[in-house]
Amino acid sequence: MAYRMKCNNRDIDFTGDLGIIALKSCEELGKKMDSSIKALREKEGIPLPESGTFLIDMEEIRFSNGEGKVIIHDSIRGKDIYIISDVGNYSCTYPLYGHENRMGPDEHYQSIKRAVSAIGGKAARINVVMPMLYASRQDRRKGRESLDCSMTLRELEHMGVKTLVTFDVHNSSVQNATTLMSFENIYATYEIVKNFLEDEEDILTNKDNFLIISPDVGGMERAVYYSTVMNTDVGMFYKRRDYSRIESGRNPIVQHEYLGKDVEGKNVIIIDDMIASGESIAEIAKELKNRKANKIFAATTFAMFTKGDGIFQDLYDQGLLDRLYSTNLTYVPEETTKKPWFKHIDMSPFAAEIISNLNMNKSLTPVVDATSRLSDKLN
């Protein structure tokens, strides 16, 4: 339950003792966040739990017919619980009728609901940390089709979830589907740009020779934010689609049209929230090289590699892509993280600070405000 504690001669309000339920899809990230929170608390003089960890002992069980169950072994009464799940982690498997079955987003989301159910109303507050928002690309209706994302938010709200923490939502307006549940949409901008600066510091010494590129109209707001923070120009590609047919649930892209300043001799970074197959990035990189761009980078919050990483290896081998920056907020195969063209950005300290602040009823602004932090770093 909520209480106040004096630490380092100042009063801190806690919503309850912090507890983290890291589901199977987020075990590694959960352990890293636990270590980061402990380091933050020790720095602030806040006592750590007697168990030495904020992680709640639990397990996910699968029956032979595929049905699942979550069992919580620790006491969670009166605690401020954070359920962490990576709905894009396709490395999680379970046996099903003699076959090894991979867990998809639907099954990961079911595990979140099972965890909420297992808590049984005993916690002081239930929060969900879903780095990649479930069904976030199903955010608007163009015909007789489901709206899975808005249904998800309403369902979590109905189940008593107080706060949903997610990152770089494909369309942030989906939060309008819920009115009582707090919706925290966090951007990975600071961590991505910080890593880019550490690796490519010489590129920004001449900002007139550098461009931010948005791969489509929908990502223009994100690209403008990056360009504002990095004090450089921005360009955009327009996806011309064939609306007479549908492939894999979408209208296929016919051609990418470029709008913006001349890219000849310039270094560019393509900014997007997620990369699925990578085909759009490949086409844009080729078009930029045809326009005589110099170095080409790409940065995304979620690299899903739905068709493997071969397309990016080919781009790198052909000199069409220098490096791809992405976070560990969703699963990336270990062999991919070791490729010379891939930079894996650890977001666990950043996410840990967000959870710690929420637990202590502290403002998130100092943590998530990338503009002032990056301005200081750039200067």
Each residue's pLDDT tens digit, 128-157: 999 999 998 877 777 788 889 999 999 999
Q: Quick one: pLDDT at residue 254? A: 59
Query: What is the Cβ-side half-sphere exposure of residue 294, based on CA atoms within 13 angstroms?
Result: 8
The phi and psi torsions of 358 (rounded to 5 degrees) equal: -60, -40
CA distance 54 to 83: 12
The answer on pLDDT for 360 being more than 90 is yes
CA distances from 375 to 218, 231, 372 (A): 25, 9, 5
Q: Which of the four pLDDT bands, split at 50, 70 and 90, describes residue 346?
A: very high
- What local confidence, expressed as pLDDT, does residue 250 receive? 60
244 three-state secondary structure: coil
Cα 79 to the center of its chain, rounded Å: 25
Contact criterion met (CB below 8 Å) for 237 and 270: no
pLDDT at residue 163 tops 90: yes
Please give the C-alpha separations between residue 216 and each of 59, 280, 298, in angstroms, as whole numbers.
Answer: 42, 10, 14
Q: Is residue 245 predicted with pLDDT exceeding 80?
A: no
The mean of the pLDDT values for the chain is 90
Burial of 285 from C-beta contacts in 10 A (0-12 / 13-18 / 19+): buried
Say whether pLDDT at 356 is over 70: yes
Tens of pLDDT, residues 92-124: 999 999 899 999 999 999 999 999 999 999 999
Of 152, 148, 160, 153, residue with least CA distance to 122? 160
Pairwise CA distance, residues 170 & 369, whole Å: 19
Local confidence band at 242 (pLDDT 50, 70, 90 cut-offs): low
Task: Please name the helix (run of DSSP H) or strand (run of DSSP E) that holds residue 352, with its range, or none.
Answer: helix 348-359
In whole angstroms, how far apart are CA 322 and each of 59, 285, 297?
41, 10, 6
DSSP 5: E
Q: What beta strand segments (E) does the chain contain?
A: 3-7, 10-14, 18-22, 58-62, 68-72, 80-84, 93-96, 99-102, 125-129, 161-167, 182-186, 210-214, 233-241, 253-259, 267-275, 296-303, 323-327, 342-345
pLDDT at residue 98, rounded to an integer? 86
* C-alpha span between 369 and 373 (Å, rounded): 7
Q: What tens digit of pLDDT does each residue of 269-286 get?
A: 999 999 999 988 998 999
More confident residue, 138 or 28: 28
User: What are 181-223's pLDDT values in tens digits?
Assistant: 999 999 998 899 889 988 887 776 677 789 999 988 778 888 8
Tell me how crowded residue 279 is: count the other CB atoms within 10 A of its CB: 13
